Amino acid sequence: MELRTSFSRQAPEAVAAGSSGDVRLGSSVGALGAREGLATILGLIGILVLTAPASRLTVPVGAPGSTLPNWILGIFSPMADTGLWLGRPAVAGGLVLATAAWLLVVRDVDSVPLRTLVWAIGAIYVLLLLAPPLFSTDVFTYLSAGRLQVLHSVNPYLHGPVVRPQDPVFGWTGLIWCDTPTVYGPIFTLFTVALTPLGVAGGLWALKLVAFASAGACAWLTYKIARDLGRPAAQAMVFVALNPVLLVYALGGGHNDLLMLAVVLAAVRLVVQSRPRAAGAALAVAVAVKATAGLVLPFLLIGARKSVDRGTRAALLGFTMVTAAVAAVATLFYGGQWLTVPATIADGTGQHIGELRSVPGIFAGYLGLGQVGVIPRTLLFLAVLSIIVLSARAALRTKNGWIGGAAVAIIASLALSTQPFAALSGNRRIRGGAIALTVGVIAIQAIRWLAPLGVGWAHSG
């Protein structure tokens, strides 16, 4: 599907007539437009949130068949007694419909006033803020890291939640990762330490609130960066803000990916504003939240080089200074164990990539190949590394090519944080790749729901 590559403030009739050299697709494809797409997404999210308290498919927390407490279900807890819930086909179909509606809004966004877009996005985000944790138990794993350190004097970079099963948060953590030490950066881990006095319930909703604020920041920063670059700002914003995976999984589940992504986008805007040292410092903070932000570093250095003289040196200095400060604090609290995060990530990936939770895993599982072995994983890593190197080389050729290069690198790593970079790249093929990644993630989830194999490879513990 073709997306517009320039933003026009002219009246819709003038745009449709081609007075700015741009053709608005919404008027020529059919009667459905951005308003209908927004209404569809809002309605689907409303149905999902209202039926979530009665469904363990939607809220996969605790032992199957057990009753969830009201502090997990939130203000919609009375809905648990209604018996209204969505089956697997309905949830899968809803995600597919939400994806189609998202693309409809992106296609025809200029037909809707900016204020309407903002209010609609805000309403959807508030619903997901008030919902119980959707489709994930990761938020409880986050809390466990802080509680292990504060309440049990256990280094979360050495041990997973399973070492203290008596802790109240353990019953809500997911079984797959319960024996895995934390894989997140020191800044985020210390943040979970600060949440410990709030208790499990307070910590849960604090993390949901952080995800809500971070998602809003991502939408706002995407709009501002696009406008700075002369790109279609409203379109870029909805491309990110209404992505169905971001809505349902990242925001609904209270994931820290949104916090990391918001800080990364702040770094991108600082580069666009020719402030490379501050940009490097911001990116270092993002890496200290979640290591995957490091994928952006080579591209940010390229962007800094093109923004001002000696920009690369300034960005690298900012990054190095903050990284050194974080390293000193992390070592003070965790010794050298926080440096084991890359090994923990590699070990966890090796254990779980064969499960039906990844692109390689879905093929291996349904083809009956079992867990993906060391050699295929190594080949996959080398392929991704090659794409990153080639993308960096290509990014050197144009002024803002570093944004598209970052998008390609993140797509190759199969990370959905590519969406803002794809939206800002101005390249239809890159945006198409980001859309394909979203569709692929939803397809994987739908396949697992609709055709479960019962595949579960053992992991340590």
DSSP assignment of 41-58: HHHHHHHHHHHGGG-TTT
pTM reported for the whole predicted model: 0.86
Give the span between the Cα atoms of 106 and 242, in whole angstroms: 9
**Residue 288 predicted with pLDDT over 90:** yes
**Per-residue confidence (pLDDT) for residue 36, from 0 to 100:** 94
**Contacts for 276 with CB less than 8 Å, ≥ 6 apart:** 270, 304, 307, 308, 311, 312, 314, 315, 318
**Separation of alpha carbons 107 and 111, rounded Å:** 10
Who wins on pLDDT, 86 or 256?
256
Residue 61 Cα distances to 57, 67, 88, 90, 231, angstroms: 9, 10, 17, 20, 42
What pLDDT score does 142 carry? 95
Is 405 in contact with 392 (CB distance < 8 Å)?
Answer: yes
pLDDT per residue over 86-126, tens digit each? 888 999 999 999 999 999 999 999 999 999 999 999 999 99
- Per-residue model confidence (pLDDT) at position 344: 80
Per-residue pLDDT at 377 exceeds 80: no
pLDDT for the residue 101: 96
Buried b (16+ CB within 10 A) or exposed e, 272-283: beebbbbbbbbb
> Which band of pLDDT confidence, cut at 50, 70 and 90, is reported for residue 9?
very low
pLDDT bracket for residue 12 (50, 70, 90): very low
Q: What is the pLDDT of residues 320-361, one digit of tens each?
A: 999 999 999 999 999 998 898 888 877 665 555 545 455 666
Name 49's Cβ contacts closer than 8 Å, sequence gap at least 6. 76, 127, 128, 130, 131
25, pLDDT greater than 70: no
pLDDT(27) > 80: no
Q: Supply the mean pLDDT for the chain.
A: 84
Report pLDDT for 282. Answer: 97
Whether 81 shows a pLDDT value over 70: the answer reads yes
pLDDT for 15 beyond 60 = no
- Does 386 score more than 70 pLDDT? yes
Q: Is residue 207 predicted with pLDDT exceeding 90?
A: yes
pLDDT digits (tens, 9 = 90+) for 308-323: 888 999 999 999 999 9
Residue ranges of the alpha helices (H) in 108-185? 114-130, 138-152
Query: How much is the pLDDT for 13?
Result: 35
Separation of alpha carbons 15 and 28, rounded Å: 12
Lowest mean pLDDT among 138-147, 168-177, 183-192, 347-356: 347-356
pLDDT value at residue 171: 87
Taking only the tens place, the pLDDT of each residue in 402-461 is 898 889 888 887 776 788 999 998 888 999 999 998 998 888 888 878 876 654 433 332
* 92 Cβ contact list (under 8 Å, min separation 6): 445, 446, 449, 450
Output the six-digit token pair for 385: 């590394």
The answer to whether the CB of 157 falls within 8 A of the CB of 181 is yes
Question: What is d(CA 312, CA 309) in angstroms, rounded to the nearest whole number?
Answer: 8
Q: Which residue has the higher pLDDT, 342 or 151?
A: 151
In this structure, of 250-264, 272-286, 304-318, the range with the lowest mean pLDDT score is 304-318
What does each C-alpha distance from 36 to 45, 78, 110, 121, 247 come to in angstroms? 14, 30, 13, 14, 18
Of 163-167, 176-180, 325-329, the range with the lowest mean pLDDT is 176-180
Portion of the chain with pLDDT greater than 70, in percent: 84
Lowest mean pLDDT among 33-37, 238-242, 417-421: 417-421
pLDDT at 214 over 60: yes
Residue 6 has pLDDT above 70, yes or no: no
pLDDT at 5 over 60: no
Predicted local distance difference test score (pLDDT) of residue 412: 81
